[in-house]
Structure 1
Amino acid sequence: MRIRATVAAASGALALSALAVPAAHADGSAASYREGAAKVLQAAHATSGMTAFTAAAPAAGEPYALNATFSNLKIGKAYKVGTTNHVAFSVSYTLTHGADVDITASDFQTGPYIYKGSYSTPSNMLVGDKPATCTATSSTVATCKGNIDVYPAEGELLNSDAGSWSAGALAIAWNGQDPSSSTFDITKVGYADQGGLGTTLIQRNSTLTVNAGPEPVVKGRTLTATGKLSRANWEDNKYHGYTKQPVKLQFRKAGTSTYTTVKTVYSDSYGNVKTTTTANYDGYWRFSVNIQLVCSG
């Protein structure tokens, strides 16, 4: 599965990003949840075209519908992902379940996930390393909080995955079934899954350097500012020059707190930025970017 994006950045930091169904990480419980949740998610989405998994009875290769729904999901507006570092972000939501669902069972698990594209046929999905933790507020309602974990160095993202993602939540009653076992029977697993609960942007992280000289510069003389705008490439795990992007040269006079835009220039075909200006006051110089891209699909 795979995904696409929208980007925004400012003052030397740019972003754009995406998602993919991952490998196992950390301890055994993390591996069990991450792999098991991905397996059941894929099976359920392969047979459901609705905004929630509501199969009345288990068919061949499907879990049965668990009596649970999700609401009040809260997720951040945007997250930046670089080339190598693990990124984790928190999601909270409300879980409402039937009296027949025991959320305190040792093999009951719930967690958030994000997906790219449509709910029924997502191009990419990401879950967390571990299930969410829940606190019961009544006999049938609980507030839950869990992470989404992203590992860009392990091939979870393509550059085309950057952009807008949708958020959902799932719950699994394993009922003694082990998804890693050769005798695993998915039809004995209870499962609830609801998409369209929120949206976020996964962004490709960008960096922007600046150097102004000569130092010191004489009042009224020419000052040259140089730098480089680079963006994370999720397909080779390196940063490359971000070309033909508007970059603002800004100045803050000593003793003040506000930067003023002096001029706007564009990064060249290698992401390099260079411009000159006249130095009239003591103060501080910086490059700033504020870019928004929208990729369809």
Structure 2
Amino acid sequence: MRIHTAPTVLSCAVVLSALVLPGAAQAAEHPGAATDLRAFASRSVQPQDALGGTTFKNGVVNKGKDIVLGVTGKKAVPVTFTAFDEEGVAITQAFLWQGTDSSSTDTITGGLESDNYPVCTETTVQDGYSYSCKTVFTIDPAVDFKDGNGTAGVWKLFLGAYDLYANASYDDDVARTSIKRAAALTVNASPEPVKKGKTITVTGKLTRADWTTGKSSGYGNQPVKLQFRKNGTSTYTTLKTVRTSRTGALSTTTKAGSDGFYRFVFAGTFTTGSATAPHDFIDVR
């Protein structure tokens, strides 16, 4: 899995105006120094034992929504957080990780290309400086998750920082998010037109992204709702819940009552996003 790191460098004017030690200036002007924060965390140093006094809060990934990924196409994931330090902050770092070891190179994703670093806005507050930070992680499932679907699930947000004296701080569980495999549904209701009271057969298929193969595959043994909306209304009613076959196929029957629209709806799972099929209209005569 490719590793992404996202260093934040404040403006030189802000950094230099607050610096006291010459060594801090060198750290603040060198974005690569941020990668040392992961190495710092790998030494089993707890956040409270770090020399730095930077604290983090209000971490939000993807505006609080699940990150749902198909098999192709890059996903832009916004991340925001707040950092506070009595002495001021020179550099911050952010990435997503999974598992029990935030320093592992096999369970890290999220970050930016080198020409699009995160941005932090400094505000002077009582007893120090507060920083409102934002960035965008660019995640490519074809690259980041090509080794397996087992990475779908909960991911944690790592945040680290160097203060203006080059002291390091980090918190590897500021916020959490779910990265899920995208799902899709189809639906077809027949015959059409149909006489009132006759049987309608509704078929479809539930598939989801397979990051290992780079294709979508059937999602078996999953509950899916069959819903109906009468023509001229705006509300769907659930008629029944059916389960997909081993290959993700759906087939059920219902009685024709009036003109309207049929659709399948899948609520999603811990590892897979939700899906709603485009509706299919039936003319009842």
Does structure 1 residue 159 correspond to structure 2 residue 112?
no
Does structure 1 residue 266 correspond to structure 2 residue 262?
no
Q: Which residue of 1 aligns with 2:204?
A: 227
Q: In the alignment, is the contact (CA less than 8 A) between 1:112 and 1:148 conserved in 2?
A: no
Distance 1:38 1:151, change over 3 A: farther
Deviation of the 1:154 alpha carbon: 0.9
Q: Which residue of 2 aligns with 1:12?
A: none
Instruction: Summarize deviations over 1:228-283 as a string: whole Å, max 9, x none.
Output: 10011111111000001111111011122211111221111111111121111111
| In 1: Cα distance, 2:5 partner to 2:60 partner | 25
SS in 2 for 1:196: coil
Q: In the alignment, is the contact (CA less than 8 A) between 1:22 and 1:156 conserved in 2?
A: no
Of all paired residues, the percent bearing the same amino acid is 37
Give 1:136's aligned amino acid.
E
Does structure 1 residue 126 correspond to structure 2 residue 109?
yes
SS in 2 for 1:268: coil
SS in 2 for 1:153: helix
Q: Which residue of 2 aligns with 1:150?
A: 139
Q: Which residue of 2 aligns with 1:112?
A: 94
Deviation of the 1:215 alpha carbon: 2.1
Distance 1:39 1:277, change over 3 A: same
Partner residue of 2:40 out of 27, 44, 47: 44
Q: Which residue of 1 aligns with 2:83?
A: 95
Instruction: Summarize deviations over 1:198-231 as a string: whole Å, max 9, x none.
Output: 1111111111111112222222222111111001
Give 2:225's aligned amino acid.
K
Deviation of the 1:192 alpha carbon: 3.0
Higher RCO, Cα 8 Å, sep 6+: 1
| In 2: Cα distance, 1:55 partner to 1:140 partner | 19
Q: Which residue of 2 aligns with 1:11?
A: none
Does structure 1 residue 69 correspond to structure 2 residue 59?
no
Q: Which residue of 1 aligns with 2:172?
A: 195
Aligned length: 238
SS in 2 for 1:92: strand
Q: Which residue of 2 aligns with 1:4?
A: none
Distance 1:41 1:281, change over 3 A: farther
Deviation of the 1:68 alpha carbon: 2.4
Distance 1:131 1:69, change over 3 A: farther
Distance 1:145 1:83, change over 3 A: same
TM-score (norm 1): 0.70
Q: Which residue of 1 aligns with 2:259?
A: 282
Q: In the alignment, is the contact (CA less than 8 A) between 1:77 and 1:199 conserved in 2?
A: no
SS in 2 for 1:140: strand
Deviation of the 1:43 alpha carbon: 1.8
Distance 1:93 1:136, change over 3 A: same
Distance 1:137 1:128, change over 3 A: same
SS in 1 for 2:107: strand
| In 2: Cα distance, 1:37 partner to 1:267 partner | 51
Q: In the alignment, is the contact (CA less than 8 A) between 1:168 and 1:195 conserved in 2?
A: yes
TM-score (norm 2): 0.73
Instruction: Summarize deviations over 1:33-89 as a string: whole Å, max 9, x none.
Output: xx9589535422321252x38444xxxxxxxxx442211212314110111111121
Tell me, which stretches of 5 or more residues in structure 1 are unaligned?
Answer: 2-19, 25-34, 57-65, 176-187
**Higher deviation after alignment, 234-243 or 210-219:** 210-219
Distance 1:284 1:147, change over 3 A: same
SS in 2 for 1:84: coil
| In 2: Cα distance, 1:115 partner to 1:38 partner | 16
| In 2: Cα distance, 1:41 partner to 1:227 partner | 49
Distance 1:120 1:167, change over 3 A: closer
Larger-gyration structure (1/2): 2
Does structure 1 residue 80 correspond to structure 2 residue 68?
yes
Tell me, which stretches of 5 or more residues in structure 2 are unaligned?
Answer: 7-30, 273-285
